[in-house]
Structure 1
Amino acid sequence: MNPAATIGAIIVVSIASLAVGAFGLRFSRTVSDFYVASRGVGPLLNASAISGEYLSAASFLGVAGLILARGVDMLWLPVGWTAGYLLLLVFVAAPLRRSGAYTLPDFAQLRTESQTARRVSSALVVAIGLLYLIPQFQGAGLTLRTLTGAPSWVGQVAVAVVVCLAVLPGGMRSVTLVQAFHYWLKLLALLTPVFFLLVALAARGGADAVGTLGTVDVTDWVEPLAGDHALYLTYSLVLATFFGAMGLPHVVVRFYTNPDGRAARRTTLVVLALLSGFYLLPILYGVLGRLLAFDLVAAGRTDSVVLELPSRVFDGVLGQGLTALVGAGAFAAFLSTSTGLVVSVAGVLSQDLLRSGPGHRHGIRTFRIATVIAVAVGVALTFLSVNVPVAHAVELAFAVAASTFCPLLVLGIWWRGLTAIGAVAGLVVGGGLSGSAVVATTFGVDRGDWLGVIISQPAAVTVPTAFATMVLGSLLTRARRPEHVAQTMVRLHAPEHLELNRGPFHPERATVHRVEPTARRR
């Protein structure tokens, strides 16, 4: 393995990403450009950007590693991560875009007319965003260590620096172009090596001719739901992945960038197609790893199977080139997801924690300060956390999102009975339970009983509990429904051509969005 080729490829990806971001800077002139790209992103570009930021370290490296180690049970990960967008398409995408909000806390305040709901939502956006940042930085450290032998912190800091440089100049406008570029680069980076691997496997007469490491007993691997507590773990994972995508702040914020609700739905359809095609590739790498690199399981390096396969099969320039291409794609995965997370967290920090005055320059300056804070805290948490497998760290982030914002969005959009007290209670209970499981897992608490099983996969308990808490809390406080809930529900569901008052959301005037164009503003 030639570290120089890999380092060169990573440098090229970083420079190309910054160049694309700098091009986007030419169009970033307003605060709206920084937060939601002035709501002018078309379906194809937005779908490419969503896919780029969604296909994270867990998708690029972790899925193949988990399939290598644990087999067919782990197919639920790519299935669930893709199917989550079907639920987004049906329940959330168009109404959320019609809300006119910039962030999830904006939506929470608009729907519940409560500052408390906004503050709790803001805290959860920051928590989920930082939790999701940890596996991105972990994956960057793993990639550079595997390919070059450099310490893990080098890759983590390198990603942090490039993310800052990509986000600071142009905000969402620049990030949209960078993430779209990253999706197609990641697809090429996985597709090209796997093509050569499959051709080599066929040409040389199968795995034995290429050079396997002995006979592998795959009996357990091909029998799903065969382990202890497998049924619970599987259904909990399904709940987390299916409903978690609906509540991920960095995913949801991208739907605010569409021109209207119809474009948001079209974007989601294109995302489903792009993700479905991409996720075939990590599965192939996991299966090939079973044939060609099963020793990585015993060595505890399953997350590196995508990075190591090309050099195990090919020598010379071809092996080095394919390894460098995979390394470049992996680095793009960390960059694209990290930039989306940083934009979502920085947007909330700048609106809710760093606001000191109005104005265009102030808004952009506070957004940039919040960007630096978000990246610095993410790196610090990565240094403090134990070495949790990349894909499992993402599973936990999905569990928190599914236990908090998924109930808020579904009930807030489709049930007018939701009250501020019910929403806050559900967010606190769901976030508290799932967050406790995350802390216990991240910092190495290990239990062998049922409590330990639930901690490792909490969604099957925390998601129904959060929904039930929101519904019960709202029923008990039905007399305190938001004053303008009827108008808000019409705003969320009426087609855009009716030309209702859909101006941009202003937190200081959260209850002014009345249906009638001449409504009095408070």
Structure 2
Amino acid sequence: MTSTAVVTLAAVLIIVLGVSFISRPRGPSTVDFYLAGQRVGVMTNSWAICGDYLSAASFLGVAAAVYVSGLDGAWYAVGFAAGFVPVLLLIAAPLRRFGEFSLADFLGRRMDSDPVRLASVGVVQLVILAYLVPQSVGGGITWELLVGQGLLGLSPYATGVLLSTAVVAVVVAFGGMRGTTWNQAVQFLLLFAALVWLAVVVTADGFRYGEAVQSLSEAPLANPTLGADGQEWALTEETNHMHPGEPALFGEPGARYGPLGQVALVVTLGLGTAGLPHVMNRYFTSPTGKAARTTTVWVLVLIGAFYSMAIMLGTAARDIIPEAVTGRPWLQELTVNGVLHTPEHALPVLGRIYGEQTGLGLIAAAALIAAMSTVAGLLLASAATWGHDVYERHINPRATQRQAVWAGRITTLLGAALAAGLAIALRPEAFAPAMPSLVATMVTWAFAVAGSALTPVLVLAIWWHRTTAAGSLAGLLTGAALSVSMFMTAGLITTDWLRELLAAPTLVVAPITVAVVVLVSLRTRTPDGVQAHWVRMHGTAADRRAERMARLTRGGVDAR
């Protein structure tokens, strides 16, 4: 453990805990604890959403996926970024205008149905758990590389998992949405700055993206695999899934997915974004629907820049690391013929090459920040779902505000413990290199459930007034059951195109979910008060005309 690593980690923890203490909620109000009083400004919320969304899967996983599979890895960045387009066009503003605590609360009230609310809670918790585990894995991988030592007899990996998850659990439990919002905003700015630094120094050293892709594509793409003894690593050429029999190349599609698999992955990630509870819950903190929409525009700009740099740096790592091995014994231990055993080490290794221990500390701390920031959002979404949608409404309807907040805090700590336990039970090396990036691939499972179950029901509830409680319930259960069963059986399939489709099932399951919701809704009764809900989400035609006229009038006055 170097002094630089200790100082870097200490600085990160001090910043996180300090921001949480300063911005902690002053009273026991559930609106303040879960929604920060619904007074979060546009820029602050856009930074916080980016901090919430740009997880270890984004910071470590996208660069790792590009590093190990070239162009096919870039589809993760495309899907992650494209997901905010449907959020901007279809969800952000109506969701905020309706104004509840969580996605489960929104669907329960919109459908006037406790079964829908409870089914939504179940699906939300499944998504949260599937998203939490890879973030904890990312924290463990980063600690293992940065520090390399365990505490209290634990392995370095287990220590990283427990430490990163425990710190965030405490931050969320006692900082609430207000403390989490400011933490995520600050963490995003630090994360973005670290990525910009690395992009600048790599470019200044002469790296050029186009030239690197062309150079890397001159030889077949090969990655390390463990031998039969489970100890010795060897380089194995990747199979070309687009053109069987031909070598896979870094700059061409096919190193990881066939044509159907690439489309399925992008659709799963894109639709899944709109159903992620920890991201969508942030829109309830905006003061107005217009602010929610403007926030999404800024998010699209910021994450577009982020993912562009992640793709570039994943390529840079593949191009630069083989030449940097000479004279660096520490790097030789991490590679086979210049190729990293663990793709998630790509950015931290680049940081050490260009900044020695300080650079490694900066990039590794940014990776921990990414994992911790997303874990914070996930735990808060879990707390809102259990504390508000279950405890307040079903277990103890007469609960005081203080009791409800403490119920959320307790479920936060329990959720963190479960996620950490599952992450420790995993052995990341057992999955690599079967996946382009363990962290990114595991997160895909959360997107699959969200995009297959929550997103179709959410969009129909907002835009189709005929949606019923029975239809929503059937859609939630169908989407969740099919998506889980498909990606759980993907590993048993030997046919490439079918395995790729099952691993990213939203392309198939989302249309089925929509069909189920529509068919069941047409045969059942719409909930009471649907017209009032519709006006609450969208306003009347007269309202919209008056708003447009007011904007035109203000524009004319300003012009004069």
Deviations 1:370-415 (A, max 9, x none): 1111111111222334535000111121111101111111100000
Matched, 1:322 2:369: no
Q: CA distance change for structure 1 residues 158 and 425 in 2, over 3 Å: closer, same or farther? A: same
**Residues 214 and 277 of structure 1, relative CA distance in 2, 3 Å threshold:** closer
Distance 1:495 1:374, change over 3 A: farther
Q: Of 310, 315, 340, which residue of structure 1 is paired with 2:351? A: 310
Preserved CA contact (<8 Å) 2:69 2:250? no
2:171 is the counterpart of 1:166: yes
In the other structure, the counterpart of 1:250 is 278
Residue 189 (structure 2) aligned to one of 184, 187, 190? 184
2:534 maps to amino acid = M
Does 2:520 align with 1:447? no
Distance 1:306 1:228, change over 3 A: closer
SS at match of 1:149: coil
Deviation of 1:447 after TM superposition, in Å, equals 2.5
Alpha carbons of 1:230 and 1:174: their partners in 2 closer, same or farther (altered >3 Å)?
A: same
SS of the equivalent of 2:285 reads coil
What is the DSSP-based 3-state SS (H/G/I as helix, E as strand, rest coil) of the residue aligned with 1:256? helix
Q: Which moved more, 1:141-150 or 1:348-357?
A: 348-357
For residues 34 and 232 of structure 1, the distance between their equivalents in structure 2, rounded to whole angstroms, comes to: 44
Letter in 1 for 2:416: V
Instruction: Render the CA deviation track for 1:260-317: whole Å, top value 9, x for unaligned.
Output: 1011011111111111111122112111112123656955311110111232x34xxx
SS at match of 1:247: coil
> 1:332 deviation in Å?
0.6
Partner amino acid, structure 2, of 1:468: A
Residue 455 of structure 1: how far off its partner (Å): 2.7
Q: Which residue in the other structure is 1:506 paired with? A: none
1:370 aligns with 2:411: yes
Give the Cα–Cα distance (whole angstroms) in 2 for the partners of residues 139 and 99 of structure 1.
35
Quick check: 1:197–1:310 contact (8 Å CA) kept in 2?
A: no
Partner in structure 1 of residue 551 of structure 2: none
1:431 aligns with 2:459: no
2:341 to 270, 293, 300: 300
* 1:360 aligns to 2:406 (yes or no): no
CA distance in structure 2 between the aligned counterparts of 1:408 and 1:153, rounded to whole angstroms: 38
Q: TM-score, normalised by structure 2?
A: 0.81
1:390 matched to which residue of 2?
A: 439
Structure 1 pair 214–467 and aligned structure 2 pair: CA distance change class (3 A):
closer
8 Å Cα contact 1:97/1:261 also seen in 2: yes
| Partner of residue 318, structure 2 | 290
Question: Per-residue deviation at 1:198?
Answer: 2.2
Question: CA separation of 1:234/1:352 partners in 2, compared to 1, >3 Å: closer, same or farther?
Answer: same
Compared CA separation, residues 69 and 463, structure 1 to 2 (3 A): same
Question: Is the CA contact (8 Å cut-off) linking 1:47 and 1:270 kept in structure 2?
Answer: yes
Distance 2:207 2:341 in 1: 29
Q: Residues 36-84 of structure 1: CA distance to partner in whole angstroms, max 9, x if unpaired?
A: 1111001100000000110000110010111011111222221221121
C-alpha distance in 1 between matches for 2:204 and 2:44: 33
Deviates more, 1:146-155 or 1:405-414: 146-155
Which sections of structure 2, spanning at least 5 residues, go unmatched? 150-155, 222-246, 323-334, 432-437, 545-560
How far the C-alpha of 1:216 sits from its partner, in A, is: 4.6
Aligned partners of 1:239, 1:60: CA distance in 2, in Å? 21
**Structure 1 gap ranges (5+):** 500-522
* Paired letter, 2:180: V
Within-5 A mapping of 1:133-282: 133-150=132-149, 151-201=156-206, 216-217=219-220, 220-222=248-250, 224-226=252-254, 230-282=258-310
Question: 1 CA distance for matches of 2:76 and 2:175?
Answer: 33
Q: Name the structure 1 match of 2:10.
A: 11
Name the residue aligned to 2:528.
Answer: 483
Match in the other structure for 1:52: 51
Instruction: Classify 1:386/1:420 alpha carbon distance in 2 versus 1 (closer, same or farther; 3 Å).
Output: farther
Tell me if the contact between 2:72 and 2:256 (Cα under 8 Å) persists in the aligned partners: no
- Quote the offset at 1:251 in angstroms: 0.3
Match for residue 519 of structure 1? Answer: none
Correspondence for 2:233 = none
Residue pair 2:161, 2:424 contacting (<8 A) in 1 also: no
Asked if the contact 1:136/1:337 (under 8 Å) is kept, the reply is: yes
Is the Cα contact below 8 Å between 2:25 and 2:176 reproduced in 1? no
- TM-score (normalizing by structure 1): 0.87
Query: Which residue does the alignment assign to 1:331?
Result: 368
Contact 2:72–2:262 (Cα < 8 Å) also in 1: yes
**Aligned with residue 416 of structure 1, among 454, 458, 465:** 465
Residues 83 and 274 in structure 2, CA contact (< 8 A), matched pair in contact too: yes
What residue is the counterpart of 2:225 in the other structure? none
The code of the aligned residue for 1:293 comes to I
TM-superposed CA distance for 1:182, in Å, is: 0.5
Alignment partners' CA distance in 1, 2:49 and 2:302: 10
1:165 maps to amino acid? V
Residue range with higher mean Cα deviation, 143-152 or 214-223: 214-223
Q: In the TM superposition, what whole-angstrom CA distance separates every residue of 1:451-476 from its partner, at most 9, and x where no partner exists?
A: 53333221221122111211122123
Counterpart in the other structure of 1:502: none
Deviations 1:64-116 (A, max 9, x none): 11101111122222122112112111100010001121111111111111111
Deviation for aligned residue 1:222: 4.7
Paired position in structure 2 for 1:74? 73
Cα drift, residue 437 of structure 1: 3.5
Matched-pair contact (CA < 8 Å) for 1:10–1:327: no
CA distance in 2, matches of 1:270, 1:202: 29
Distance 1:241 1:290 in 2: 25
Deviates more, 1:28-37 or 1:153-162: 28-37
AA aligned opposite 1:491: R
Change (3 A) 1:27 1:41: farther
Residue 328 of structure 2 is matched in structure 1 by none
Number of residue equivalences: 483
CA distance in 2, matches of 1:391, 1:249: 18
Query: Which residue matches 1:63?
Result: 62
Aligned equivalents of 2:535 and 2:301: distance in 1? 31
> Cα–Cα, structure 1 residues 496 and 267, in superposed 2: closer, same or farther, change >3 Å?
farther
| One-letter amino acid of the structure 2 residue matched with residue 134 of structure 1 | V
Alpha-carbon separation, structure 2, partners of 1:50 and 1:325: 22
Q: Deviations for 1:420-452, whole angstroms, at most 9, x for unmatched residues?
A: 1111111111101112244446xxx44312553
**Per-residue deviation, residues 215-236 of structure 1 (Å, max 9, x unmatched):** 8545733554435861111111
2:460 is aligned with what amino acid? L
Say which is worse superposed, 148-157 or 19-28, in terms of deviation: 19-28
Question: Does the 8 A contact of 1:41 with 1:258 survive in 2?
Answer: yes
